[in-house]
Amino acid sequence: MADKLVVNNGDVNVTAGDIKIADNKKLICGAGSDLQIYHDGSNSYITDAGTGDLIIASSVLTTTDINGGTIDGVTIGGSSAGAGSFTTLNTSGSVVFNEAGADVDFRVESDTNANALFVEGSSGNVGIGTTSPATALDVNGSITVSSGIIHSGDTDTSLSFQTNGMTATVGNENAIKIEPGTIVFNEDSLDRDFRVESDMVTHALFVEGSSGKVGIGTSSPSARLGVNGGISSVGNSDLPAFGGFNAYLAGGFSSPDVGRLIIGDNTGWKYHISRRSSSTTTDLVTFQDNGNVGIGTSSPGATLSLFASAGSTNGITLQASGWPYFGRIGMNGTSGGDQYWTANYNVATSAVDSASYYSTYIQNSALWGIIAFGTSSAVNTAPTERGRFDSSGRFLIGTVAPLFDNAALVVRGISGVRASSIFEVQNSTAAFAQCQFINPNGVIGSISTNGFATTYNTSSDYRLKEDWQPMSGSIDRVKNLNPVNFAWKGDGSRVDGFLAHEAAEVVPEAVSGEKDAVDKDGNPEYQGIDQAKLVPLLTAALQEAIAKIESLETRIATLEGGENHG
């Protein structure tokens, strides 16, 4: 069919009405049918099928869908990207690339980066500086953020940036804060656990938020530090090759001095503390798996064994046997080296249970409530009790029972050398207060010595006294005293003295106790007398007698003088 309207030269002017072209009928321009405009019944098309560019001479494109062809050499809606770049694209509405939703990539190129911005058509992933984004946004290079990154679906979760610092916030809680030299977890001090997981252990490191306890290998530490497994910390290479230990701790930076704590099962002991000096290891403390503890020895033979340095003759052993021994300390030293004895001394029966003995013992009896002290007079002889604290708190020396209940210290002399001496105080020959008696008022008496004599003192300072007056009637009072010579019932020895109750009627301050007094059990409570308290009375009586004598002497001298003049 022939063309209806062909214009080879000149213009076609339409001043009124429209030029109507039916669907699928084209307005074709160019010698080679280069430009075609038509409508197919559904869509309208402007097709540039010839050479050159399609140039739309307008500064604004409004609601324009471009599918197919190129703009400045870039393929739009095609299957592959073309060469070239956009120069300027201005729009006041929407610009849609690939509105049909085809598997078409989108790429923006800069002068130095061919993939400054890339949208992968198949996945929708966006790449910056990469054509193979692995995630929704994949950036090959650095990201500059002025304040922070906020989770789109949870504004309480973010990553914020400060000057020289950053904070990771989760659920509106500052979970991690990083500053120069510092990384803080749980900055808000909330009850939040902290956990570090390895490929084998889910709680390689664990901090319990509620208590602050730290667990290694455990999520429920029962102490400040709970470790599920062994501990190994070695700070020096100059160490022996120990094996089979659950834990080995060593301190020190260089040979030869290294301090060690070994916890394990080697050679029959559990805990071991040693010191290494000049390549020699010295055992300091050893805890055996049977409960024995050795100080200065790695093979303690008792619950507690203490050994001094080599060459010393001192040793201590603490040994606990069954009832009724109740824990005794045995001490022994010999010239042949450190020894300890294994016999048991029963304070209840005063018996030794084997042929070898402690030379000294201290025994606490829970049954009788006493602490007893005993010594042996010779090697391999049964020890003898020398003293004890009884259940009433009394300290008894040389006896096991006091004669009176109210005595706090009871001392009984021993036979042999110095048999008459119960209590000795040895000091220099200078004047010295060997004993002082003190109450809340201060020192009220003392026993003092010098190089040759002993003085018994009682309080007499004038500053303690008031209202002092001369004594009178002293001779009459002395005349009321009844000095007698008597025999002691105990041994029949005779001495001069007073009967206490009679002396109390004249000088009551010289006598203690009451006449015929007894204790709660009916035992006599005997009176005593301090005869030194009689001295003031005797002195006053003597002064009165001297005054009378001197008066009589004066009268006699006067009488004798008168007779001579007569």
What would the pLDDT profile of 449-482 be if each residue is shown by its tens digit? 888 899 999 998 999 999 999 999 999 999 999 9
- Indicate if 356 and 301 belong to the same structural domain: yes
Residue 474, pLDDT score: 93
Residue 2, pLDDT score: 58
| Of the listed ranges 40-49, 417-426, 490-499, the one predicted with least confidence | 417-426
Q: How many residues does the chain have?
A: 566
453 CB-near residues (< 8 Å, 6+ apart): none
Rounded Cα–Cα distance for residues 178 and 522 (Å): 87
Distance of CA 229 to the CA centre of its chain: 22
Render pLDDT for 223-235 as a digit per residue (tens, 0 to 9).
888 888 766 655 4
Residue that is last in its domain, among 464, 487, 505: 464
DSSP state of 172: T
- Indicate if 187 and 302 belong to the same structural domain: no
- Indicate if 453 and 481 belong to the same structural domain: no
- Indicate if 274 and 405 belong to the same structural domain: yes
Asked, for residue 531, whether it belongs to a domain, the answer is yes
- Indicate if 256 and 392 belong to the same structural domain: yes
- Indicate if 216 and 344 belong to the same structural domain: no
What is the rounded average pLDDT of the residues 23-34?
Answer: 80
Asked, for residue 519, whether it belongs to a domain, the answer is yes
Residue 233, pLDDT score: 54
Render pLDDT for 289-316 as a digit per residue (tens, 0 to 9).
788 888 877 788 888 887 766 545 445 5
Render pLDDT for 375-390 as a digit per residue (tens, 0 to 9).
777 656 667 788 888 8
Q: How confident is the model at residue 7 (pLDDT cuts 50, 70, 90)?
A: low
Which amino acid, one-letter code, is at 113? N
Q: How confident is the model at residue 146 (pLDDT cuts 50, 70, 90)?
A: confident
Q: How confident is the model at residue 543 (pLDDT cuts 50, 70, 90)?
A: very high
Rounded Cα–Cα distance for residues 557 and 33 (Å): 188
Number of domains in the chain: 4
Q: Is-cis flag, bond preceding 256, omega within 30? A: yes
Long-range contacts of 344-351 (CB under 8 A, 24+ apart): 344/319, 345/374, 345/382, 345/383, 347/372, 347/385, 348/324, 350/385, 351/382
- Indicate if 399 and 271 belong to the same structural domain: yes
Residue 208, pLDDT score: 92
Rounded Cα–Cα distance for residues 566 and 553 (Å): 20
234 three-class SS: strand
| Whether residue 256 has pLDDT greater than 70 | no
214 CB-near residues (< 8 Å, 6+ apart): 205, 206, 207, 208, 221, 224, 225, 226
Asked, for residue 120, whether it belongs to a domain, the answer is no
Asked, for residue 345, whether it belongs to a domain, the answer is yes
- Indicate if 258 and 404 belong to the same structural domain: yes
CA proximity to 68, closest of 42, 92, 93, 44? 44
Q: Across all residues in the chain, what is the average pLDDT?
A: 75
Asked, for residue 378, whether it belongs to a domain, the answer is yes
Asked, for residue 197, whether it belongs to a domain, the answer is yes
Q: How confident is the model at residue 71 (pLDDT cuts 50, 70, 90)?
A: low
- Indicate if 263 and 223 belong to the same structural domain: no
Per cent of the chain over pLDDT 70 is: 67
Rounded Cα–Cα distance for residues 352 and 488 (Å): 42
- Indicate if 313 and 396 belong to the same structural domain: yes
Render pLDDT for 473-522 as a digit per residue (tens, 0 to 9).
999 999 999 999 999 999 999 999 999 999 999 999 999 999 999 988 89
Asked, for residue 140, whether it belongs to a domain, the answer is no
- Indicate if 194 and 262 belong to the same structural domain: no
Pairing of strands 511-512, 494-497: unpaired
- Which residues constitute the domain of residue 307? 247-411
- Indicate if 324 and 376 belong to the same structural domain: yes
Asked, for residue 376, whether it belongs to a domain, the answer is yes
174 touches 164 (CB < 8 A):
no
CA proximity to 458, closest of 513, 384, 532, 373? 532
